[in-house]
Amino acid sequence: MDDDKVFKALADPNRRQLLDRLCDQNGQTLGQLCTSMDMKRQSVTQHLGLLEQANLISTHRRGREKLHFINPVPLYEVYARWIRKFEEGRLGLLHDLKQELERNGK
């Protein structure tokens, strides 16, 4: 997985909204997704392209339509490799901070 592409894809609120819409209803067409996005179809296409490059969605065509499906795996991997790491040290880190503040706040 390319961490960087995933993080960059998630950096834009419109792309997060697209994931949200797909979470509401998976397998939507480009046209359907466009109705909830305040921008031109071509722009939505670009956003979906970035999501697909980040492997956050997968697509396939049905006739003249293009269906979009969420792939939750990269999101979970971001959590596993990135967020959980800091979560584990959470108490320790807060302890360090507290100690430092006390040492200097006296």
Provide the binding-site residues for its own copies, judged by CB under 8 A.
Answer: 3-4, 7-8, 10-11, 13, 16, 19, 23, 26-27, 58, 60, 62, 67, 69-72, 75-76, 78-79, 82-83, 85-87, 89-90, 93-94, 96-97, 100-101, 104
Taking the C-alpha atoms of residue 87 and residue 78, their distance in angstroms, rounded to an integer, is 13
Q: Considering just the CA atoms, what is the radius of gyration of the chain in Å?
A: 19
* Least gap, CB of 16 to DNA (angstroms): 11
Taking the C-alpha atoms of residue 86 and residue 103, their distance in angstroms, rounded to an integer, is 24
Both tokens of 97, joined, read 């901070």
Choose among its own copies, DNA, none what residue 90 binds, the Cβ cut-off being 5 to 8 Å by kind.
its own copies
Judged by beta carbon, residue 46 or residue 79, the one nearer its own copies is: 79
Contact 34, 41 (CB under 8 A): yes
Q: What is the 8-class DSSP label of residue 72?
A: -
Judged by beta carbon, residue 59 or residue 71, the one nearer DNA is: 59
* Least gap, CB of 88 to DNA (angstroms): 27
Give the residue carrying structure tokens 């991997």: 77
